[in-house]
Amino acid sequence: MLVDFNTLPEESRVWIYQANRSFTALELSEIKAKLDIFIENWTAHGSDLLSGYTIEYKRFIVIALNQNLNTATGCSIDASVHFIQQLEKDYNVDLMDKMNVSYKQGEFIAHKSLLDFKKMAKDKAVSRKTIVFNNLVTNIAEFKENWEVPVSESWHSRFVK
């Protein structure tokens, strides 16, 4: 069952899918329509999953699930992964590769491979103050507080001296 992302409880589980590029306005419109349909019909063993989503910076798809009502099962998680994989095919975009880093350069969102990010850190092209996106957060509370953080406060800190 689709609900507004902002109405979900803080402990709702989140999955963050980071695109390797920004979506166009047309793509965003289409993706939102597809997300509406997917989430409205998303179930676990026939039970509705109370879920919502947000798309941030035209590049991050964040799906949240209120697990107080029903929890995601292996099958329902598989369904969401298949949905995201279909978006990857439909829009020729990478959403599942966890070996990439997105970070802020002013108002611009940059996207690099982990290897390139490590090299940039070594070359001092990014610093401990650089804002990165910690896509390992697990719930809405963490998403609000610890998703956009300085490198020094994230798992990325091991790369920056």
Please give the chain's pLDDT, 161 residues, in tens. 999 999 999 999 999 999 999 999 999 999 999 999 999 999 888 888 899 999 999 999 999 999 988 888 888 999 999 999 999 999 999 999 888 999 998 889 999 999 999 999 999 899 999 999 999 999 999 999 999 999 999 988 888 87
Are 144 and 66 contained in the same domain? Answer: no
The last residue of a domain, from among 91, 118, 136: 91
At 155, is the secondary structure helix, strand, or coil?
helix
**Count of domains observed in the chain:** 2
Are 113 and 83 contained in the same domain? Answer: no
At 72, is the secondary structure helix, strand, or coil?
coil
Please give the model's pTM, rounded to 2 decimal places.
0.94
The last residue of a domain, from among 42, 63, 91: 91
Range of the domain at 75: 5-91
* Secondary-structure breakdown of the chain: helix, strand, coil percentages, each rounded to the nearest 5: 40, 25, 35
Are 21 and 74 contained in the same domain? Answer: yes
The last residue of a domain, from among 91, 126, 141: 91
